[in-house]
Every structure is written in C-alpha cells, then in structure tokens.
Structure 1
Amino acid sequence: MLRHHDPGSYGQFCPIAMAAEILCSRWTVLVVRELLSGSSRFNDLRRGVPLMSPTLLSKRLKELEDAGVIVSVPTTQRGVVEYRLTEAGEGLRPVVMSLGHWGLRWVESSLSLKNLDPSLLMWDMRRNLDPTPLPARRCTINFLYPEVRSGKRSWWLVVDGDTVDLCSSNPGFEIDLYVRSSLRSMTAVWMGLSTVQKEVDAGQIEMIGDRTLAQSMQRWLGLSVFAKETRAPAS
C-alpha cells in the first residue's frame, strides 16, 4: 500500500484526496511522466523537466520513494542510482495518459504553443523517434531553429541502428539531412497539430540533403504519444 503523511493533508477519507496528496504537489506529475517515458537516471529526468531545479527534483523523487511509487536502485557506476517505478507507480500510466489526452483535447492549442522549449522538444523527439524507415547505417540529422537564442539554436540527432543520441554540439559526423524550421512549426508537427508536408508547403520547414530521409520524415519523426488525439471543437 502507498504511504502518505503530508502535514498539509486534505483531511478527507476519499481515494481522490489521498491520491492528490501524493501526486498534486508542483512538478510531481511531470516527474512521473518522465519515469513512465523511460527516464531512470537523475540527469535524464532533468532533461525532461529543464525548468525544475535539481534541488526540487531530488525532493520530489524522495517523496515519491517514501510514498512507495518508486524505488532507487544502485548501479555499477559509483554514486549513481536508477529510479524505477513500483507496481503502484506503473499503475499511474493510465492516469497520466488520461491527463495528457484531456489536455490535448480540451486545452487551447495556442496556449501550448506559447510554451516553446527546443531542448524539451528535441529530447521528446529523440526518445520517440522510429528508426525503422531510416537506412541501415548511421544517420546524422541537424535541426536548426534560426529564431532561438545561440546555444539552443542547433541540435543533432544521431541514429545508429536502434540507438538514438541527441547532441547539442556538433558530433563531428557527416550530416545526412539539414532541417531548418521555426520552433513553433516543429512543435506543431510534434504535437500532431500540423504535418511535415503542410509546414514545408507553407515555407516554415526546409530540408536539404538525403531525399529519402526528407521524404520519410513524417514517419521517423518522434511525435508526441498524444498526436492522434482528436481536439474538441472550438466553442
């Protein structure tokens, strides 16, 4: 059974209230989202919640461990642990997915597109990328967001078999495909609000390089798991 001992308890014998005491503190659900998405080490979790301070992330992980949602497991690397979901933690998957589906269906998309973050976008694209349509060799794809400040403007995805690496500095490999895009357009494609072809036709995405990679981009691009969700009609 999960344990909760929040001094700010709702004081209600209600399953929703008891679950909220564990999950509804700021950032907690996003940390759980990252764990459900496969991140298990502290630095990887930080990449999924880049605006969260390391101190607060440590605090939330400790709270989740105390509650029985996760366990920390030592690795062979000295001083490094992995955080793994318990059975109770894995049971949160349909809850978190339902929140995402609700948000995409009912929250105005223009609000989401105001919260643009190239590092988070590229991190999500990396872990959802499907290497199946790519050639059976190492492929390096350079994404450039011209309007973004220097340091977050250029990103490289290096795909070698089933391994996908994300680099924020040039890895030194020959570039197979250059993708120049506005951050808003690429985020809209990732969210399923637009398509690669629509943004190319609108002049918002430009691709130079391997034609096969360019033509199959919609298939290999790592879209949000909610990309197929149908949005509610505007009122």
Structure 2
Amino acid sequence: MPTHTPMPPQTRNRTYGQYCPVAAGLDVIGDRWVLLIMRELVAQPSRFTDLRRALPGLAPNLLTERLRDLQAAALVESVDVSESSSRSIYQVTDKGLKIIPVLRAVARFGVDYLDPATTPNLPAEGLSPARTARAFLLPWLKPGAPHMRVRLTVPDGSSADVVVDGRRTDITDADPGVAPDVELRTDALALSDVRRTGAPLEATLAGSPTAKDKFLKTFDLVIQ
C-alpha cells in the first residue's frame, strides 16, 4: 500500500484543502520566508543567529515559528553542537534535500523579476562567490553534468570552488592546492544580466579549450 506523509499539525489551519500536489506542497513550504530559510540551510547547517544574519528582514519570533513548522514537516532538524553546550544548529534532513530542485526552479523563474535597483539588501561589494554560484550557476546546471571543478572569483578577489561530480554538487572555499578545470572571473550582477537577457557574458574564463567548452555547455553560458 502506498504511504503518505500527514501534514504537520502546525500547518493544518493554513491548508489550501485541495487534493492537488501543488497545493499540498504549498501547505508545507508556501509560507513567507520558508524557501529562503531552506535556501540557507541547504547551503550549510546554521545556528539561529546565522539565519537571522542572513535574513535580516525576518523577525526572531517568526523565524522560530517557521523553524518549528519545518521540523514538524521533517524537512529540518536541530542538532546539539556538543554535549557540553546548549547551543544547537539547524540542518536539512534527507527529506529536506528534495527542496533543492524546487529552489533552482524558483531561481530560474525569479531571475526575470530581479532588479538590483529595488533590492535594498544587495551589498555594495556584491554577493560572495558562493552565493553568486548558488544563485546564477547551479540553477542552470544541466542534468548528468560531467565531473569538473569550477573556480568562481568575484571582483574583491575572493573565490569559491564549485565541484560537480554528476550526481551532486558542492560549493567550498577555493582550495589553492587543487587546480580547477576552469576559473571564471565575474560577479553576480553580470551573471544576473545574462540570465535575464540571454546575452553573452562579459567575463574572463581560464582553462583548456576542452574544459572551457564543457563548462559553458554545462551551465548554459556564452562568453563574449
């Protein structure tokens, strides 16, 4: 017999009440801030204070409520940092990792509505390389992508490595002891313009001709 996951008690009073998978999914992740909380936790386990720092417009009491609902839905779990400390971190569960393709689909949809002029929380120095990769590279990653290590370097000189192995993708601090297949030097605003318009990317791409061609096809980019 097929099984189903009952809706967590906290969200029953907010249900759409429709026998539809879209509606049922929105019963769990459709509340304001939920997808952004999941975006942060998919990137890395975080303390409550880390989430507050990453989501400055989210009130502490509402963050507590959203985390409680996500735990009830078995998408997030709280883990004690150590036996000697009362502090804990929040992390996504295996079930919660199913949100990754949803986040990437929303990113591809939302980029058409992205306007730096109306985004007050955009840092003057731009996004970090890791955030830039998650926002403007990974959502366009082709299924079954070949193994590669991509180093993304932003104008302030900081870098992150995007490691693709065909089944999963990790983003780590750039490892100076490991040479990437390609290095892309650009920033979030340039990539967002490309994703919105489909125009060629004005950037520096270093690597062998074969590696550069593989990278451009894998992430659906054209370099000017």
Query: What are the Cα deviations for residues 147-202 of structure 1, in whole angstroms up to 9, with x where unaligned?
Result: xxxxxxxxx9699xx758xxxxxxxxxxxxxxxxxxxx96513535499968xxxx
**What TM-score do the two structures reach when normalised by structure 2?**
0.56
- 1:12 partner SS: coil
Pick one of 50, 55, 62 that aligns with 1:56: 62
Shift of 1:28: 0.6
Partner of 1:17: 23
Q: Does 1:4 align with 2:8?
A: yes
Q: How many residues align?
A: 161
Partner of 2:189: 188
User: 1:117 and 1:187, CA in 2 relative to 1: closer, same or farther beyond 3 A?
Assistant: farther
Letter in 1 for 2:14: G
Partner of 2:36: 30
Equivalent residues of 2:126, 2:187 under 8 A apart:
no
- Give 1:142-161 correspondences, 5 Å limit: none
User: 1:29 and 1:163, CA in 2 relative to 1: closer, same or farther beyond 3 A?
Assistant: closer
Equivalent residues of 2:16, 2:23 under 8 A apart:
yes
Q: Does 1:83 align with 2:90?
A: yes
Query: What are the Cα deviations for residues 112-144 of structure 1, in whole angstroms up to 9, with x where unaligned?
Result: 54214245975643556899588xxxxxx995x
Partner of 1:94: 101
Equivalent residues of 1:47, 1:123 under 8 A apart:
no
In structure 1, stretches of 5+ residues that fail to align are 135-140, 144-155, 165-184, 199-214, 218-227, 231-235
RMSD: 3.8
- Give 1:99-118 correspondences, 5 Å limit: 99-104=106-111, 107-109=112-114, 111-118=115-122
Shift of 1:80: 1.6
Query: What are the Cα deviations for residues 86-109 of structure 1, in whole angstroms up to 9, with x where unaligned?
Result: 2221111111111111222xx244
**What TM-score do the two structures reach when normalised by structure 1?**
0.53
Partner of 1:148: none
Over the matched positions of the two proteins, sequence identity in percent amounts to 22
Partner of 1:207: none
In structure 2, stretches of 5+ residues that fail to align are 134-148, 161-171, 175-185, 207-218
| Structure with more relative contact order (C-alpha pairs < 8 Å, separation 6 or more) | 1
